[in-house]
Chains A and B, each alone.
Chain A
Amino acid sequence: MVAMTQLRVGERAKIVDLSRVSDLVKRRLLDMGVTEGAEICLKCTMPLGGPFMIENCGQCVGIRRNEAMNIQVKPL
């Protein structure tokens, strides 16, 4: 189990733990179907500590690096 920030671009992973993510962000991710057990793929990252773009079921979502750091995933 690693933080999402450890993934390489293009790598797929399963979300294991979202409990350390702030409530508001967790709600929004939930809204978009990104929840524990969901399979995601890291699509790209922005420079200088910028946001991450992840894909889940064909849906792309952008989140901040500090939130991604709090998301525990299991690489597939």
Chain B
Amino acid sequence: MMHIALVGNPNTGKTSLFNQLTGTYEYVGNWSGVTVEKKVGVLRNKQAKVIDLPGVYSLHPLSRDERVVTQFLLTESFDEMLNIVDASQLERNLLLTVQLLEFGKPLAIALNMVDVAERRGIFIDQTKLATMLRVPVVPVVARTGKGCDQVEHMLLEKATEQTEPLTLFYGGAMERAIERFRAAWGTEEKFPVRWLAIQFYEGNSYVRDYVAEKLPEATWRSLYEQAEKEVQQAEQMSLAQLIYERRRSFVKEIIEQSVQRKEIERVTLTERIDAVVTNKYVGIPIFLLAMYVLFQLTFDWIGAPLSDLLDAFFAGPLTDSMTAVLKAIGASEFIRALIVDGIIAGVGGVLVFVPQIFILFFFISFLEDSGYMARVALVMDRLMEAVGLNGKAFIPLIIGFGCNVPGVMAARTIEQPRERLVTMLLTPLMSCSARLPVYALFVGAFFATHQALVVLSLYVLGVSLALILAKLFSLTILKEESSVFVVELPPYRMPQWQALWRSTWDKGKGFVKKAGTFIFGGSVAIWLLSYVGPHGVNVNMDDSFLAMIGSVLAPLLAPLGFGTWQAGAALLTGFLAKEVVVSTMNIIYHVPDVESLQGLMASHFTALSAFSFMVFVLLYVPCLATVATIYKETRSRKWTMFSIGYALVLAYIVSFVIYQAGSLFGF
């Protein structure tokens, strides 16, 4: 099957186009760096595979997600490239196109955002552009799918054509350097040696590593140094500068001939919104207000009533009818207990939070899709700079509110490796949606009148600790690296309902799926452990295996205010996924619904120990999936262990201080 690679600048709509072409749904957003690794899909007519790649400005990578593209070009086989070009930013988009044309694979251009360009007074003559670049150009509206049929058609037609790589003249000194490289390198079948040489001289770190594998160090070093010297002498420019300038004059020439500009003196909507949300004085208050509204909507205004309805359904009609059905078919008491007390209590206890989690994901998707996310990075940069990170690190943290796993992945767009590491280590402190059921349970029982405020305090605590630790880490492990911050601020756009819903569903379904797998399995296992003890089956729960396991931890947890075996067992199982804490509690306390569980818990916890418990759940350890992602992203056992270890220590200390200080003040 034919393979087509989608390449283009960040935030030009590659993933939108990918979704349209393949009929799949991948995560889209309006900020640079939404896609951090390649994704493969199949064209609707099943004739080709499409590979969606992270956005890049050039093939010379600065950050981890950008390396993915260069690596793809050098090491994987594909048949053609679809270059998606943002019509409103033609110059910098075409600078990448030039590099792709030099690479020499068949290429077609999908021209996106023509409407945005026209509103800005930029009119592109597409035929002219196609003739000058010698590639087909098709206008598309990636968000709605307009023009995608033509793209598909063109892709299939194009594949059979033979293409010559573009050859730009880089000046005598540089051309001689390219020839020397060619002589040293020898023959190459996969891609043009000229392209490799240019990228090598430009300082592309990935290409350099690639070259260093084949050529001895002395050879490539002397090639580079000689070229540098000669180009400096002949052109009074550095190699990278020369290459950039030549490409740019080529692009300028094309733009001059194919683009018409009309002066449009109009203040755009984006500018008007930015005048407020990035205002010097109200920018930060607006961000905080937005966060507050988000939490109110999720917990108080919409989410909580819906969750209550669902809970009533699980506890009432569902449990009753299931019991009746089981009785009718003559199921044994063991089966009845397993299904009603184990599975319905455990899985249902978590599923009731689906409405709240979906609402949270909906608003996070809205933030991502509207373009506000990049502004958050800008607004928060000063604060992040103070703790040794940069504003971009704030994006993974906000995404981490939804789920820590994509949060850790989103850190890939951070250029400095150590800053990225610290961001990944701190993202698990963001209170993800899986922790929400735990809060909801306790807050309902102990803080009925100030629900949103108490939950908000936990979110704030997570963020504050992350900032304090960032400072601590940046003074220790980050010492030798200066922080860097450049962020692209895309124009705002109104998120489309369909895209929003899909993106919410896509994130939320992970939670539902988890309920069907992990939590289902976990509930069965926990129920069995609570049903079976050293002295047989159907034992009193205090004599069960679960109680034995929990009791080991109980004395350790006593100074934190919750030294019961139940708390110990719940926390232990919470490592699987934090919602399991609630499932475990539902099973252990053996109650039909959240309300009666809350009543029962009042005898095991006080308001203070409940708060201390919530803090512990917030901090104590990243969930299994997050730990696996941290390992995958850092490729370091040491840092993965560190992420678990520091969190445990931190959780213990903070909960200890809260409980002990609280007791002292008589709470």
Complex Cα–Cα for A63 and B484 (A): 9
Known: A22-B484, A33-B91. A64 touches B280 (CB 8 A): no
Cα-based distance from A43 to B274 in the complex (angstroms): 9
Q: Which residue of A lies closest to B275 (CB)?
A: A44
Query: B487–A62 contact, CB under 8 A?
Result: yes
Interface residues of B in 79-116 (CB under 8 A from A): 88-89, 91-92
Given contacts A22-B484, A31-B57, A44-B279, contact A50 B381 (CB under 8 A): yes
A28–B487 alpha-carbon span in the complex (Å): 9
Q: Which of A24, A57, A58, A67 contacts B415 (CB 8 A)?
A: A24
A62 and B279 contact, CB distance less than 8 A = no
Judge whether A58 and B484 touch: CB under 8 Å.
Answer: no
Q: Identify the closest chain A residue to B57 (Cβ).
A: A31
Whether A27 lies near B88 (C-beta < 8 A) is no
Q: Is the CB of A32 within 8 A of B92?
A: yes
Q: How many B residues touch the partner, as a band?
A: 35 or more
Partner of B382, one of A44, A47, A57: A47
What mask results when residues 55 to 76 of chain A are scored 1 for a CB within 8 Å of chain B, else 0? 0011111111001000000000
The residues of A that contact B274 with a CB separation of less than 8 Å are 43-44, 53, 60
The one of B92, B120, B275, B486 in contact with A63, judged by C-beta atoms closer than 8 angstroms, is B486
The answer to whether B486 and A46 touch across the interface, beta carbons within 8 angstroms, is no
Chain A residue with the shortest CB-CB distance to B280: A47
Contact (Cβ within 8 A) B378 A24: no
Picked from A22, A30, A61, the residue with its CB within 8 Å of the CB of B482 is A22
- Tell which of B58, B284, B416 touches A31, judged by Cβ atoms closer than 8 Å: B58
Looking at B57, B120, B484, the one whose CB has the most chain A CB atoms below 10 A away is B484
Verify A62–B485 contact, CB threshold 8 A: yes
Q: Mark B620-652, 1 if CB is under 8 A from A, else 0.
A: 000000000000000000000000000000000
- A32 near B484 (CB under 8 angstroms)? no
CA distance A62 to B88 in the complex (A): 19
Report whether B382 and A49 are in contact in the complex, using a CB–CB cutoff of 8 Å.
yes
Instruction: Give which listed residue, A25, A31, A60, contacts B92 with CB less than 8 A.
Output: A31
CB-CB contacts of A29-40 with B at 8 A, as 1s and 0s?
111110000000
CB-CB < 8 A to A45: which residues of B? 280
Interface assignment of B411: CB less than 8 Å from any CB of chain A: no
Q: Which residues of A contact B482 (CB under 8 A)?
A: 22
CB distance from A50 to the nearest CB of B (A): 3
B385 at the interface (CB under 8 A from A): yes
Does B278 touch A at the CB level, under 8 Å? yes
- Find out whether the CB atom of A64 lies under 8 angstroms from the CB atom of B92: no
**Inter-chain contact A46/B488, CB cutoff 8 Å:** no
Q: In B254-278, which residues have CB < 8 Å from any A CB?
A: 270-271, 274-275, 278
Chain B residues near A25: list those with CB within 8 A. 484, 486
Interface size on A, residues (CB 8 A): 29
Q: A58-B120, A61-B489 are in contact. Are A47 and B281 (CB under 8 A)?
A: yes
- Cβ contact within 8 Å between A62 and B381: yes
B88 touches A58 (CB 8 A): yes
The answer to whether B89 and A28 touch across the interface, beta carbons within 8 angstroms, is: no
Judged by a CB distance under 8 angstroms, whether B391 is at the interface is yes
Contact B382 A53 (CB under 8 A): no
When distances are taken between beta carbons in the complex, the residues of chain B under 8 Å from A31 are: 57-58, 92
* B57–A64 touching, CB < 8 Å: no
- In the complex, what residues of B have CB within 8 A of residue A67's CB? 485-486
How far is A46 from B378 in the complex, measured between Cα atoms in Å? 8
Residues of chain A contacted by B374 (CB below 8 angstroms): 62
Contact B92–A51 (Cβ < 8 Å): no
Check if B489 sits within 8 Å of A29, measured CB to CB: no
Q: Complex Cα distance A33/B58, Å?
A: 12
CB contacts (< 8 Å) of A51 on chain B: these are 378, 381-382, 391, 485
Q: In whole angstroms, how far apart are the Cα atoms of A29 and B487 in the complex? A: 9
In the bound complex, what is the Cα–Cα distance between A29 and B488 (angstroms)? 10
* Contact (Cβ within 8 A) A64 B378: no
Q: Is B303 an interface residue (CB 8 A)?
A: no
Is B486 in contact with A29, judged by CB distance below 8 angstroms?
yes
Q: Contact between B378 and A62 (Cβ–Cβ < 8 Å)? A: yes
Q: Is B292 positioned at the interface, with any CB of A under 8 Å from its CB?
A: no
Q: Which residues of the other chain, B, contact A59 by a CB distance below 8 angstroms?
A: 89, 92, 488
**Assembled-state Cα–Cα distance A60/B299 (Å):** 35
Binding site for B on A (CB under 8 A): 22, 24-25, 27-33, 43-51, 53, 57-64, 67
Taking A50-B385, A53-B378, A62-B391 as given, write out 17 further A-B residue pairs in contact, using a Cβ cutoff of 8 Å, ordered by the A residue number. Answer: A22-B482, A24-B62, A28-B415, A28-B484, A30-B244, A31-B57, A31-B92, A44-B275, A46-B280, A46-B283, A46-B381, A47-B281, A50-B382, A51-B381, A57-B91, A61-B488, A64-B381
Return the 10 tightest CB-CB contacts between A and B, nearest first: A31-B57, A50-B382, A60-B489, A28-B486, A62-B378, A62-B487, A33-B92, A51-B381, A24-B484, A44-B278
